Structure 1
């Protein structure tokens, strides 16, 4: 059962320190269902639907990653939450890093899951523009049908058919405007590798062994005593579906050490 606050729909379970989960492009809070089940025994776990995704409204258009971060800040203020540990998947990781840059006072720590501090390459920017054109021309459903198999490790596309179907169903719920807003925000996002390198907060960086979108070297761009690096074996870009036990275990290990 989802709750809506200021046009942001979210799932909340458990009590204790707050963990905030931010899904990726054309996803929703439902991405985290299995992880929430594992973590809510010891933590208050909140997973949101980003603007234009899942059951959340469009917020009259989100122009850049910083605006998504601002939406998160307002969301936390409305719930009177002063501190969270934030976990961002892919697009959610870009937003998490922007949040860490502007609103670090709200964070106990943060995690990038299959994400990076790097901006889009010129080729990737062209791909974002082309994707927006496909959504305009054909609608969201055919776009999602083409996108989702690329998110999984090649060897998992057949063996995780049920998960692919779930992820597609979630993707179909994304509004075309919400998807295009997110594409543009990703396209124009700035380089935040220095933000990652300079943070003093405890950071968990997670990469999928077979991630076709963001390889490990794009994720592990910073290291130090406050950083924990984890490669999820047997996973592509969707470890919450491909290897949820391994993902939950990595998160719990990080939280216990932070």
Structure 2
């Protein structure tokens, strides 16, 4: 893992920078880390793959509150700047997708194209906002381990909770490393994020929207909220919310195909 110090915030960002070729920024989901992408990165041939532990996650530092989704996006743009990357393809899983949309809106000079993987441009509805508050209380009252134990099985397709026990356990181990204050900060950020469907509608670059047919967290219709000539919609039927673990080869192929199309 490599390290940069953010100039705007006094925290360190840990990241992997692997391969050569077209730059791709891969961002993991909530209570994940760069290790979510371990099986995908080696398959992205011909790409320079930049994979951070997002602020408040993994081995990266925890920023001071308040820290909005927009702040995540600003810090990812700074990561690219410090790495002398002009434009990259931004690919975001779940939370990473929210950051991707904010990045496309705020830093178009850093975004060659972008993709949402098991994510959505819609904001939380009232029930979703209430659930974020309940999650915050769980973390504050009980700590990160019980919270992760309740969260992770829901991320996999129901059948895979049993047939992929090893990967479910791996995702839990990754989640346990999340600093509790980082989880709380991120839950607050996700709760307050705005509707960004217009970012997809108005995008002047290619967009990938990828969903899992058995996703229990974000149903495909929430991902496929916008259609258009420059928008590619992909459904991985036999995946839940974690195709990077459930169907890594298929996900990698879809990402490669998208990047190759962007390159023209």
Matched, 1:28 2:33: yes
106, 109, 112: which is aligned to 1:108? 112
State the partner residue of 1:57. 61
State the partner residue of 1:185. 189
State the partner residue of 2:9. none
Deviation at 1:253, TM superposition (A): 1.4
243, 252, 257: which is aligned to 2:256? 252
d(CA) in 1 for partners of 2:110 and 2:42? 24
d(CA) in 2 for partners of 1:62 and 1:91? 17
243, 247, 251: which is aligned to 2:247? 243
d(CA) in 2 for partners of 1:222 and 1:36? 28
For the Cα contact (< 8 Å) 1:211–1:236, is it kept in 2? Answer: yes
1:162-194 C-alpha deviation (Å, 9 max, x unpaired): 100110000001000100011000000000011
State the partner residue of 2:90. 86
Map 1:118-129; keep pairs closer than 5 Å.
118-129=122-133
For the Cα contact (< 8 Å) 1:51–1:57, is it kept in 2? Answer: yes
d(CA) in 2 for partners of 1:77 and 1:200? 21
TM-score w.r.t. the length of structure 2 is 0.95
Q: Name the count of aligned residue pairs.
A: 256
Q: Any idea what SS the aligned residue of 1:34 has? A: coil
State the partner residue of 1:148. 152
Q: Any idea what SS the aligned residue of 2:138 has? A: helix
For the Cα contact (< 8 Å) 1:151–1:238, is it kept in 2? Answer: yes
206, 215, 219: which is aligned to 1:202? 206
Q: Any idea what SS the aligned residue of 1:155 has? A: helix
TM-score w.r.t. the length of structure 1 is 0.97
Q: Any idea what SS the aligned residue of 1:230 has? A: strand
d(CA) in 2 for partners of 1:252 and 1:61? 36
15, 25, 37: which is aligned to 2:20? 15
Deviation at 1:61, TM superposition (A): 3.2
Q: Which runs of 4+ in 1 moved over 6 A?
A: none
Deviation at 1:43, TM superposition (A): 0.9
State the partner residue of 1:76. 80
d(CA) in 2 for partners of 1:238 and 1:183? 19
Deviation at 1:78, TM superposition (A): 1.3
Matched, 1:136 2:140: yes
d(CA) in 2 for partners of 1:202 and 1:237? 23
**Once superposed, what is the RMSD of the aligned Cα atoms?**
0.8
Map 1:41-52; keep pairs closer than 5 Å.
41-52=45-56
For the Cα contact (< 8 Å) 1:19–1:45, is it kept in 2? Answer: yes
1:7-47 C-alpha deviation (Å, 9 max, x unpaired): 010111101111000100000001111110101x3111111
d(CA) in 1 for partners of 2:35 and 2:65? 22
Deviation at 1:62, TM superposition (A): 4.9
